[in-house]
Amino acid sequence: MNDRSERAHWTGRLGFVLAAAGSAIGLGNIWKFPYITGKNGGGAFVLVYLACITLVGLPIMMAEFLIGRQGQRDAVGSFEALEGKGSLWLLVGWGGVAASFVLLSFYAVVAGWSFDYILKSATGGLSGKTAEEINALFGELVAAPGRIVFWQFLFLAATAGIVIGGIRGGIERWSKILMPALFLLLILLFVGGMLSPGARAGLEFMFRPDFSRLTPPALLDALGHAFFTLSLGAGTMITYGSYLEPDSDLLALSVRITLLDTLVALLAGLAIFPVVFAAGLEPGSGPGLVFQTIPIVFAGLPFGSFLALIVFILLAFAALSSSISMLEVSVAYLIDEKGWRRSRATVLIGSLAFALGIPSALSFNRWSELKPLFGRTFFDLFDLLVSSYMLPLGGMFVAIYAGWFWKGGEAKNEAAALSPRPWIFPVWRFLLRFIAPAAVLFILLNQAGVWR
């Protein structure tokens, strides 16, 4: 199983870049990025976010690919291959498996809503409605437990269907279809945004920094989102990296993936904000921005239902190429470490994620008053646990491991294992050793309210 020649690998660079970009590009870019940018006042937040992506996210992504590629096993097994059985570093792998599993459980709930909105916009359910009626539709959807659990199930079934196909026949093949389709749709929407009367206001909102809006919570949002959007700290990029061939240039690959991810987030913002301003809506309206605002915004435009349909198909595509990467982490573990068949592992993990997701789905209706901890519903608790703690901590330990403890493994020359450009190595190691851990500690201490 651990023999390099037997293990499945990506067919080539393009397939890998699209699959890993598919993991990175998801609800985080199209649903979360615009709404937290809106909430945090635009321009200045975008600048900090870009800095976090480059100085913290990119080097950690390279480290995750490196660990996977050198280990040639799943997230746990790769640490074992590098450090030996019983090493404490295995806990970092375990943390990734747990994070991606919990994330999958509630991600599928939100992703399922996009299926419902695809149906709504395709059947004309959004046209001819007033803003209040459209707002009410979202409320009605999440208030119907049977309905959202059904969509959650369907979304997980689609995810599992792709993962069962394996690396080349499933994940890579689908990413090669989903990703270009997504780019095409986004460019269409971006052009729509730029032609709208709100284009100028939208551009200014996103790119003219107003540093007075840069509050400490905005800094935290920016750094936390860098982990989320690049799929870091969840074992995902370690697992995808393990299907890489040994001679791959990790810098070049990571730069491409990070650029694509950033491009999609910016395009999504540039598609959404102009229309938000043209329609006189509030950019900081919160998590409902996509599900509630988009149909309202498009209701007034020619071909409005069609445009709304495009947005929701896009959202579903983006979510799907991310959820497959979450499922693959646990599936790879069962295949590599326990010798399971792929289909069996996929069905088991998919079913468990479905079961764990049910309390999250019920958090919007039956159990909306049930707040087991910190006055939060199950959905909010899982989201807090994963997005605010597990991903940043996982990413930080990866940075510490790769920066301070990685000895080069089988690779004789550490610098050459990373990239043919040797000058990258000291820069990369400096960022991993000092900048990334300091940034994460800063987030976490702030979250704990240490100096509040």
Residue ranges binding ligand PHE (CB under 6 A): 23-24, 26-29, 100, 103, 228-229, 231, 234, 236, 322, 325-326
Residue 445 has a CB neighbour count (10 Å cut-off) of 12
CA angle 175, 294, 364 (to 5 degrees): 85
Q: How far is the CB of 234 from ligand PHE (least distance, A)?
A: 4
Coil/strand/helix, residue 74: coil
**Beta carbon nearer to ligand PHE, 58 or 278:** 58
**Beta carbon nearer to ligand PHE, 53 or 81:** 53
In angstroms, rounded to a whole number, what is the distance separating the alpha carbons of residues 159 and 108?
A: 9
> Could you tell me how many residues make up the chain?
452
**Beta carbon nearer to ligand PHE, 279 or 315:** 315
Helix axes 199-207, 43-52, angle to 10 degrees: 50
Q: How far is the CB of 232 from ligand PHE (least distance, A)?
A: 7
**Beta carbon nearer to ligand PHE, 281 or 319:** 319
**Beta carbon nearer to ligand PHE, 28 or 274:** 28
In angstroms, rounded to a whole number, what is the distance separating the alpha carbons of residues 432 and 59?
A: 7
**Beta carbon nearer to ligand PHE, 106 or 367:** 106
Residue 376 phi/psi, 5-degree rounding, is -120, 150
Instruction: Give me 266's structure tokens.
Output: 């910016």
Q: How far is the CB of 299 from ligand PHE (least distance, A)?
A: 27
Coil/strand/helix, residue 6: coil
Continuous segment of H or E residues that includes residue 191: helix 173-195
Q: How far is the CB of 162 from ligand PHE (least distance, A)?
A: 14
DSSP string, 409-424: TT-S-HHHHH-S-TTH
Which is nearest to 93 in space by CA: 73, 79, 82? 79
Q: How far is the CB of 26 from ligand PHE (least distance, A)?
A: 2
Instruction: Give me 151's structure tokens.
Output: 């969509």
Q: How far is the CB of 132 from ligand PHE (least distance, A)?
A: 30
